[in-house]
Amino acid sequence: MALIYHKDIDPQTSFALWRIDEQADELISQLQLKDHEKLYLDTLNNGKRNLHWLSTRVLLRNMLNTSSYIDCQVDEHGKPYLVNFPHFISLSHSFDYAAVMISKTKPVGIDIEQINDKIGRIAHKFMNAQELSFMDPVHHTEHLYISWCAKEAVYKLQGKKNVSFLNNIRIGQFDYKPEGSFSASLELEDSRKDFEVHYQQMDDYMIGYVADDQYAE
C-alpha cells in the first residue's frame, strides 16, 4: 500500500489517496481493531469490500499521524465520524484506490470513481435537463463523472439520507477541464446552501471534493 497523493486545501483541511496493494492481513496488522470492528469485518465478503473498509482506516491513521486507537463510527445515516479526534472526515473508495478527506474546522465530502462509459446510461437519473445540456460532447463521459463526484461529495458532506442527486443537489454550468471547480447547491424544502466543489482527474479516476466554508458551530 502506498500513499500516492496528498493535497492540503487549507491549514486544517486535506485529502489523500492510497493505492491498495496489500492483502487483508497486511492491512489489519496496521490497525488496532476492537472486537466489534472485527465482527463487522466478518460480515463483509472477502475481496474488495473488505479491502476498501480496511484501507480507508489505514489511510485515516496515516493522515492523523497517530499511534492511538482511532474510534471511527457511523451515525444513523451511515455518515462516518470520529469519537476521539476533533476532525470531520469523509471516506471513499473505488477499485484499487482509497480516498480520505479530513478537516479540524468544517464538514467535508469526497468521492473517487473509476471512469467507465456506462455512466451515460444512468445520467438522466442524477442530472436534470439543464445540467445535461452543457456536458462536453467530446469529453462527455468525463464531464458526467465530474458531475457525479461533485454531487456525491455534497451528499456525503451533508450526511443525511433521502436527499436526491436529481432533485436536491444542483450544479452550476462549467466547461470541461481535467481539473477545476464550480458551484453547486443543496436545495431542500426549507433551505438552500451553496458550495464550491473541486475536482481533478488522475489517470482513469475522477475525484470530487468539497468543504463547507460557511460552517459555524
How is the chain split into domains, by residue range? 2-105, 111-211
Q: φ, ψ for residue 67 (rounded to 5)? A: -100, 0
Q: What is the pLDDT of residues 141-154, one digit of tens each?
A: 999 999 999 999 99
Q: What is the pLDDT of residues 105-151, one digit of tens each?
A: 999 999 999 999 999 999 999 999 999 999 999 999 999 999 999 99
Tell me the CATH class for 2-105.
alpha beta
* Binned average pLDDT, 10 residues per bin, the chain of 217 residues: 90 97 93 94 85 95 94 95 97 96 98 97 98 98 98 97 96 98 95 97 97 86
Whether the predicted model's global pTM rises above the 0.85 cut: yes
Alpha-carbon dihedral 39, 72, 57, 29, rounded to 10 degrees: -50
User: Distance (Å, rounded) from C-alpha 5 to C-alpha 62?
Assistant: 12
Task: Give the residues across from 98 on adjacent strands.
Answer: 18, 93
What does CATH list as the number for 111-211? 3.90.470.20
> Which residues neighbour 151 within 8 Å (Cβ) at sequence distance 6 or greater?
126, 165, 169, 171, 184
